[in-house]
Amino acid sequence: MLNNNLVEYASVAVEVIGVLLIVGGLLFATSRWLFGTKVKPLARYQRYREDLGRAILLGLEVLVAADIVRSVALDPTLASLAVLALLVVVRTFLSWSLSVELEGQWPWQRGPKGSERGD
């Protein structure tokens, strides 16, 4: 019983962290957009979209982790695993869509790390 409560609290904590990452990213991106007066308006808007997209991507990844912990550790039934699979598919689709929107290419079309920026 104690282990189930601990896992439940841990999954809720991870969900809260995921939501805070998205909301914090929204606030950060918005403040950068509002107060970034030294950058041209179109570039500010593009940076805003990129910052917001990255925050959503990170938050979605954390929320998927929370779903995995909750489904696998607390309720490992076939029905809960089917729901988990559906959630992961939907969130993966959202992540890929955001990634394509931000980078203009599919994740598997990227070259080796660091090759684009000269790192």
Q: Assess whether pLDDT exceeds 90 at residue 46.
A: no
Distance between CA 69 and CA 117 in Å, rounded? 36
State mean pLDDT over 8-31. Answer: 92
For residue 31, what are its two tokens? 């403040």
Q: Where are the beta strands (DSSP E) in 1-119?
A: none
For residue 44, what are its two tokens? 């500010």
State mean pLDDT over 36-55. Answer: 82
User: What is the sign of the dihedral through the CA atoms of 67, 70, 73 and 74?
Assistant: negative
Distance between CA 79 and CA 85 in Å, rounded? 10
- For the chain, the maximum distance between any two Cα atoms, rounded to a whole number of angstroms, is 57
Question: For residue 19, what pLDDT band results from cuts at 50, 70 and 90?
Answer: very high
What is the overall mean pLDDT for the chain? 81
Q: 49-80 pLDDT, tens per residue?
A: 888 988 988 898 898 888 888 887 777 788 88
Segments making up each domain of the chain, as ranges:
2-109
State mean pLDDT over 83-90. Answer: 84
Burial of 5 (0-12, 13-18, 19+ CB in 10 A): exposed
Question: For residue 113, what pLDDT band results from cuts at 50, 70 and 90?
Answer: low
State mean pLDDT over 76-100. Answer: 82
Whether pTM exceeds 0.85: no
Question: Cα separations (Å) of 117 from 13, 50, 70, 112, 114?
Answer: 36, 17, 39, 11, 6
